[in-house]
Structures are given as C-alpha cells and as structure tokens.
Amino acid sequence: MIQLFKMAFRDLGRNRRRSFFSSLALGMGLALLLLMAAFIRGEMNGAMDLTIRLQSGHLQIRAQSYDESKTSLKWQDLIENPETVAGQITALPPVIAATPRLFASGIVSIRDESAGVRVFGIDPLSEANAPYRAGLMSGEFLTAGDREGLLIGQPLAEKLGLKAGDQVSLSVNTSNGDVAEQPFTIRGVYSTQTNGFDSVTVFLPLAKAQAIAQAENHASTIFVLLKDRAQTEAVAAALQSSNYKVLTWTKMNEIIIQTEELANSYMSIFYLIVLAITATVIVNTLIMSVFERTREIGILTAIGMKGRRIMAMFLAESTLLAVGGILMGLVLGFLVVAYFTKYGFYIGNMGVTMLFGNTIYAELTLEDTVRLTILTFVITLLAGFYPAMLAARMEPVEALRAGQ
C-alpha cells in the first residue's frame, strides 16, 4: 500500500502544475461549500435569535381566545392582571424575565405623511427590553410613568424625517373598535439593526398603552425569556393552565424552522452540483495521465501487474489529489469564513417578513465542516474510478502499440 502511494506521488509529480491546479480547483469548491454552509447557518440562527429576543421570547402566555393575526384588544381575549401572572412566572428558577406586553395597531402621522405601525406597550424596567435599550441611537429610553412619550425605530424616523424631541400624532385601535388619537413626543430613536422590525414598531409604556387602547389592566401576552433555550418544554409544561395557552418559541417560529429545513434541502443539491463540477477536473487530470502513460501501463501489465493493482494505483493518485485539495480548501474556507464571522455580510432591508438582521454573520460548525469534508473526499474518489478502470482494462499489446 505504501509503495502504491509512493508511485502515485511520483506520477503526480511528473506534471506538478496540472496536479496543483487540479487540487486547487477541488479546494476552492470545498471552500465555497464551507462558506455557503456557514452563511445559511448564520442566517437562520441569527433570524431565530433575533425573533426570540425582539418578538416571540422563549415562551408566551396568552388568553385562550387571543388571535395574534387580528391583534385583538377585546378584554375577553386579553390577560387580566398581567403583572400578577408575570410575577409568578418570574419566580421560576429558569426564567430570566417575564413581562406583560400589549399589542395594538396604529398609525404615526406628521404633517401630510403617515405610516402604519405596530404599537408595543412594554414595562420599561424589564430586562426583556435590553435589545431596545442597547440599540438607543438618540434621546432617552421610556420611563414607566411617561404619559406623552414614545420610542420609534430609526428606519421609520428616517422615512418620516423625525428625531428625538419631535412631536407626532399616534392613532391607535381601541378595545371597543374605535380609534383613539393623541399627540406624542419622541423620547428616543432606537435601532436593533433589523429593518423588518424597526420600521414598523413603536414603543409606549405599558400603562399608557393600556389607557389609550382602553385595555385597562390587561395585556396581550406575557413575554418570557429563559436562561437556557433547552428548558423551554419543561417550563411550558409547568405553566400549563386551562385559563391560558402557553406557546413555545418553536411553535411561534414555525416559518423560520421550515425555511431552514427547506434551505438545507436546496443547499444539499447545490453542494452536489459544485462538487460534481470540481470532480470533473479530477477526472480530466487522471484521464490525461492515463493517455500520457499508456506505454508505461502496457509494460506494467506485460510484466505481470494485475489490473486491480493498476486500478489501485490510479485511485491512490485521486486520493492524494483529494487530500491536497481538501487541505487547501479547509485553509481557504477557514480564512474566508473567519472574515465574514467577524465583519459579516451587509444585506440591508430585503423586504422580508421574517426578522433577518441587516448583516449576516457566518457561523461554521464542526458538524458542517466534517460532513462537507467527507462528502468532498468520497466524491473525489468516485470521480477517480472511471480513469482507474480505463487504465486497468488496457490490453498489454494494444497499450504498447498505442504508446509508440
């Protein structure tokens, strides 16, 4: 076996430039696959993390009849005395924060411009608001007793030409089906680097949101963040009640999960296409080697070398090409992925409904690396079978004549 690899290494060295560029082509294919896998995983994980932190939480407690798609404000669809319920949930050890939130539909208008928004009534002191507090671009954050202030997203502020301190008119749907309108002062402008969220969401203190929406002492949901995502099902089971429904992050984010599964399916096809293209380079290299060494193959066959040993010799060459290409691919892939892991790839506002960040950061896992490395190695070996069989089936006399 060692002798075969020595012979294969010597044969590849006869045309070093061709062998090097064949391995390089394979390496670039593997590097591309690593980068794509890292982008897909980074995009999906980033979208899920953003959605959990900004919108869904790990758990939400809602009234049995609450319909999120209609943003219902009817009292029978809301949670009564939400602070009491949130306090009981907060007492559980796995819980970081449990806070009431009231959702309502509204319109922000100034002069002759307006924009539809989703109003979030929040408890400004809750730890669950850390992403909005950390993303404050100008002005100040809300306070619990503020009756005239709101927080607005940077994309919406830029669209309407607003800044902290400006006054706007906010119209909100109420629990009895009417529309309440009131002037508000923009206390601050925030950015979570997620255009899909920031461009449609304004924040009010919970007490003020309840007052303007006429939802006294009621909330749409109890937003719950946990210390560990893996504890979600256990906490959900502990919170089950006939009075409320408990929704987990997997239930609330089914679209993202299904999108990830679909993306992985399509990417598997893309992986095979890229590897098939790079494998043709290996096939061409070995076929050229077979025809260049026709006389040599004839001599080896004439002196008694079996066809399976000749076949093994060419498979050894494809193995060396695969190993060299994989090593170059891992180095190139890690360098490119490391760059995009640190700096990301800016995509801006893509106009999608899911909460994708403005920048996608690559995220390469050991599982993806091993899987793609093995796949590359196997396909390269399979690509080497045809040239190896071509060499093994040569007749000694015909090979010697063809080599003259």
| Structural domain boundaries enclosing 158 | 65-242
In a domain, 247, yes or no: no
Residue 44 in contact with residue 256, Cβ under 8 Å? yes
Same domain flag for 324 and 297: yes
Same domain flag for 260 and 234: no
Same domain flag for 346 and 207: no
pLDDT for residue 326: 93
In a domain, 96, yes or no: yes
Same domain flag for 309 and 391: yes
Same domain flag for 145 and 220: yes
Same domain flag for 210 and 73: yes
Same domain flag for 213 and 155: yes
In a domain, 392, yes or no: yes
In a domain, 58, yes or no: no
pLDDT for residue 21: 87
Cα torsion 41, 47, 53, 59 to 10°: value is -90
Same domain flag for 185 and 263: no
In a domain, 249, yes or no: no
Residue 273 identity: I
Same domain flag for 183 and 331: no
Enter the pTM of the model.
Answer: 0.76
End-to-end CA distance of the chain: 30
pLDDT for residue 289: 74
Question: Cα–Cα distance between 308 and 393 in angstroms, integer?
Answer: 9
Instruction: Tally the domains of the chain.
Output: 2
- Final residue in a domain of this structure, among 242, 264, 296: 242
- Final residue in a domain of this structure, among 242, 269, 293: 242
Same domain flag for 358 and 329: yes
pLDDT for residue 353: 46
Residue 167 in contact with residue 187, Cβ under 8 Å? no
In a domain, 113, yes or no: yes
Q: Give the residues of the chain that fall short of pLDDT 70.
A: 1, 3-4, 7-9, 11, 292-305, 307, 348-357, 392-404
pLDDT for residue 8: 67
- Final residue in a domain of this structure, among 242, 270, 291: 242
Q: What is the pLDDT of residues 209-250, one digit of tens each?
A: 999 999 989 999 999 999 998 999 999 998 888 788 999 999
pLDDT for residue 297: 65
Burial 278-298 (b: 16+ CB within 10 A, else e): bbebbbebbeebbeebbeebb
Residue 128 in contact with residue 121, Cβ under 8 Å? no
In a domain, 85, yes or no: yes
Burial 309-332 (b: 16+ CB within 10 A, else e): ebbbbbbbbbbbbbebbbebbbeb
